[in-house]
Structure formats: structure tokens, C-alpha cells
């Protein structure tokens, strides 16, 4: 049974934590995916806009109609990609408590990883130049005798690492 003191009322993105929190366990930090996860949707959207603009300037309907169709298809691809990334972002939780680190991913299938603070050996942060400029990166937690899957495209990875290592 969940302790009321462990619950985080009204906080979006901690639904899984609210279900698995142990009595007396307190949420210290919450991570989230960076907006860069939507980058894959920007390219087809930009192409759709460019193709639609090209269709406007074509005087021949035999050329402009196929361009409009291509623009609509590219727009649908951009929308599909955006929605898929939105679901990924909405169903991913990163939490640091005073006892453990919890990562939860998935909507239809669930993938969770939990590690107690006393089992953590190191926390690695990798950031590309673009990641440093925009504030995202990959965090890898190494535990006693094992390593986690990297957590890619997490916003403010240094703060997330600090939340883990301070404890």
C-alpha cells in the first residue's frame, strides 16, 4: 500500500512513481525527455511546406497537383512522427527518490528499471556539442555488477546526474 507522504499530488509525469512509492519514500528529482525528441518530425514538416510553396508557384496543374499531394503526404508523415514522439515523451518517467532511481518507459508494454542508491557505482553523462548548446544528453548509470541502458535525450542531464549522486 502506498503512503500518502510518498505521493506527489497533482504532478504530471509521476504516475508510475505514485503507484510504486514505498512508505516514507520521497521524490527528490524528476527528469524528462528534451524537446529534441521531436526533431524527426521537423524535417518532413519543412519538406511539406517547401513542396507546397513550390506547388503554388507552378503554373501547370500537371505539376502543381502532384506537388500538393506530396506536401499532404509529407505533412501526414510529420504529424505521425510528432504523435509517436509525443506518446514516447508522455509515457516516459525518470525519478530520483531518497532510496532509488526509477526509469519507466512504455504505454502498451512496460519497461522499468530501478536501482538503489547504495548499488550505484557511477553516473556517466555524454553530451554532443548540440546537446550542450540545447541542454540535453545521455545519462548512463553503472551499478554494482551491471550497467543500465543509456537514457538518451534527457533534458538537463547534469542536474539529473547531480540529483542521483548527491544522495
Three-state DSSP class for residue 6: helix
Please tell me the pTM assigned to this model.
Answer: 0.77
Q: Are 123 and 141 in contact (CB under 8 A)?
A: yes
Cell digits of residue 72: 499532404
Q: Are 115 and 109 in contact (CB under 8 A)?
A: no
Per-residue pLDDT of the chain (167 residues; tens, 9 = 90+): 233 334 444 445 568 888 888 888 888 999 999 999 999 999 999 999 999 999 998 888 888 899 999 999 999 999 999 999 999 999 999 999 999 999 999 888 888 888 988 889 989 999 999 999 999 999 999 988 777 778 899 999 999 999 998 86
Other C-beta atoms lying within 10 Å of the C-beta of residue 153: 21
Cell digits of residue 127: 553530451
CA 93 – CA 31 distance, rounded (Å) = 7
Three-state DSSP class for residue 125: strand
CA angle 43, 47, 50 (to 5 degrees): 140
Amino acid at each position: 500500500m502506498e503512503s500518502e507522504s510518498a505521493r506527489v499530488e497533482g504532478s504530471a509525469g509521476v504516475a508510475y512513481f505514485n503507484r510504486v512509492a514505498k512508505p516514507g519514500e520521497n521524490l527528490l528529482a524528476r527528469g524528462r525527455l528534451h524537446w529534441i525528441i521531436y526533431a524527426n518530425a521537423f524535417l518532413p514538416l519543412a519538406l511539406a511546406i517547401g513542396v507546397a510553396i513550390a506547388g503554388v508557384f507552378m503554373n501547370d496543374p500537371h505539376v502543381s497537383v502532384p506537388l500538393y499531394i506530396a506536401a499532404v503526404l509529407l505533412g501526414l508523415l510529420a504529424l505521425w512522427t510528432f504523435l509517436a514522439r509525443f506518446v514516447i515523451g508522455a509515457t516516459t518517467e525518470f525519478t530520483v527518490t531518497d532510496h532509488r532511481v526509477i526509469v519507466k518507459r512504455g504505454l502498451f508494454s512496460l519497461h522499468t528499471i530501478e536501482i538503489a542508491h547504495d548499488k550505484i557505482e557511477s553516473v556517466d553523462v555524454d553530451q554532443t556539442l548540440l546537446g550542450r548548446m540545447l541542454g540535453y544528453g545521455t545519462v548512463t548509470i553503472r551499478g554494482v555488477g551491471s550497467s543500465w541502458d543509456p537514457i538518451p535525450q534527457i533534458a538537463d542531464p547534469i542536474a539529473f546526474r547531480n540529483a542521483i549522486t548527491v544522495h
